[in-house]
Amino acid sequence: MDSKLPLDTLGKIWDLADMDKDGMLDRHEFVVAIHLVYKALEKYAIPSVLPPELMPPGKRKDSTVPISKSSAPMSVITTVPPPIPPLPNVSSMKNMTGLDTTKINMQWVISSEDQIAADKLFLQADLDMDGYVSGIEIKDVFLQSGLPQTVLAHIWSLCDTCQSGKLNKEQFALAMWLIKQKLRGIEPPATLSPDMVPPSMRKPSESIVENNNISGYSNPELDMISKDIAELVKERQSMEQDIAQKEADIKIKNGEIKSLQSELDTLAATLKQLENQKGEAQKRLNDLKAQVDKLRQQAEEQESVLRTQEEELNFKRQELEGLRQEEQQLEQQQNKSRDQLNELTKNLQDTQLQICQAKAKITHLQEQQRQMSDAIALYDSALAAGDATLVPDTSLQFNPEIESLEYEKTNEEDKIQNKKNVSFSKTNEKH
C-alpha cells in the first residue's frame, strides 16, 4: 500500500507472486512480489503470466525451442535457463552469440558547475547526513525560488522517480536545474527525457544497445540463451538497484531510528524535568491553597467589618435624613422669622417715625403751653392791676392748636401693636 499503486495492480501482482495459491508469500514469492512492484513503479507492464525466470528452479518447466531446418533430421533441444545467482559474464558471451554490445555514454543535461553548486546546497540541506533530502529539508530551498507550489510539486514528482519521498544528490541537482530553467522561462517537461534521467537511475536498455553486426550464421538455441542471459542481466541490474534502494532505505531507517532514539532520550529528559516541575508546581499549589484559605478568611473578616460599616452607614444616613428634615424645618422657620423680622422692622420704622412726629408735636405743645402760661401770667397781672392795656395784642391773638381724638386713638393702637410684636419676638427667641 505504501507504493501508491492501484489496488487492481497490487492484486494482480499478488496473484502472480502467490505461485502455490495458499494465500501467503514465502521468501521467494515475497522477492518476486517486490520485484514486480518496482517494475510497476518504473512504468513496466505487469505480465499476465509469471515469466519462467522469476519462478524458483524447482517449479520451472522445461521449454522446447525449435531450431532451423537443415539437411539433418529435426531434433528438439531442451534448455533450462541457469539460476539467477551467479550470472554469466556478458563479455564472455560476445564471441559465442556474435552480439557486440557497446555502452553509449549519453551526455547528462546537468553541467559540472551546476552539479557542484547543487552539491553544496545538498550538503547544507542534508541535516541527518543520510545521503538523501526529504521535502521538509529542502522546503525552504525550493520556496526561495519564488515559483508556485504547483510547479515545485511537479518538479519534485519528476525528480523523485522511485516515489520514495526523498532525493539523492543527482535527483536534487536535476530539481535545481529544472527550477533554474523555469526561472529562465522554460517550462518543465511532462516526463523526463533520456538525457535528463540521472546516470545512476538510467535503465540498462538506455545505456546498452546491440550492434546489428551479427554474423551470417544464426543459431536459434544460442539466440534463446543469449536472450535469457540478457534478461537475467537486466534482472540482475534491477535487483542490484533494488538492493541499493533497500540499503538506502535501511540507512534512512537507521537514521530515523537514531533520530527517534534521540527524540526518545530528549523526551525522557523532558519527562523527568516535567516531573520535577510537577513537584515544584504541586508545592507552589499547596502554598497557593494556603494563601487562598488565608485570603478567604481575611475576606470573610473584611466582609463582616464591611457589613457592620454598612449598618453604621445606614444609621448615619437615617440621622442625616433626620437632620436634613430638621434643617428644612429650620429653614422654613427661618424664612417665617425673616418675614416677621421684616414686618417688625417695617413696624419699627413706622413706630420710630410716629415717635418723631409725636416728639415734634410734644415740642410744639410745650411751646404752646409756655406761650399760654405767659399769656395767662399777663392776663393775671392785667386782672390784678385792672389795666387791660397790659395785655398785648399778640397775646390776645394767640390761638392754641388742640389735637383731635383720632390722634390719641392711633397712638393707643400703635402701642398695642408694639406690645404684640415684642411678645412675638420674645417667643421666637425662646424657640
Please report, in tens digits, the pLDDT of each residue of the chain (431 residues total). 566 777 778 888 888 888 888 878 887 888 888 888 888 887 777 888 888 777 776 665 543 333 333 333 333 333 333 333 333 343 333 333 333 333 445 678 888 888 898 898 898 888 888 888 888 888 888 888 889 988 898 898 889 888 888 889 889 999 999 999 999 899 989 888 888 888 877 765 444 433 333 333 345 656 777 777 888 888 888 888 888 888 878 888 888 898 888 889 889 988 998 999 999 999 999 999 999 999 999 999 999 999 999 999 999 999 999 999 999 999 999 999 999 999 999 999 999 999 999 999 999 899 888 888 888 888 888 888 887 777 777 766 666 665 554 445 555 666 666 665 655 555 555 55
Long-range contacts of 13-20 (CB under 8 A, 24+ apart): 13/37, 13/40, 13/46, 16/46, 16/47, 16/49, 16/50, 17/50, 19/50, 19/55, 19/56, 19/59
Q: What is the pLDDT of residue 235?
A: 83
Max alpha carbon distance in the chain (Å)? 234
Instruction: Report the Cα 123 to chain-centroid distance in Å.
Output: 35
pTM reported for the whole predicted model: 0.30
Q: Exposed, middle or buried: residue 179 (CB in 10 Å: 0-12, 13-18, 19+)?
A: buried
Please tell me whether residue 133 adopts helix, strand or coil conformation.
strand
Q: How far apart are the two ends of the chain, measured CA to CA in Å?
A: 112
- Is the separation of the CB atoms in 225 and 79 below 8 Å? yes
State which H helix or E strand residue 235 sits in.
Answer: helix 220-385
Dihedral sign for Cα atoms in the order 271, 276, 282, 284: negative
Distance CA 41, CA 298 (A): 77
What is the Cα–Cα distance from 346 to 350, expressed in whole angstroms? 6
Domains in the chain: ranges and CATH = 7-54 (1.10.238.10), 114-199 (1.10.238.10)
Identify the pLDDT of residue 344. 93
Measure the CA–CA gap between 247 and 167, rounded to whole angstroms: 15
Alpha helix ranges (H) inside 76-219: 94-97, 112-125, 139-143, 149-159, 169-183, 204-207
For the record, the C-alpha cell of 391 comes out as: 395785655
Chain-centre distance for alpha carbon 12 = 49
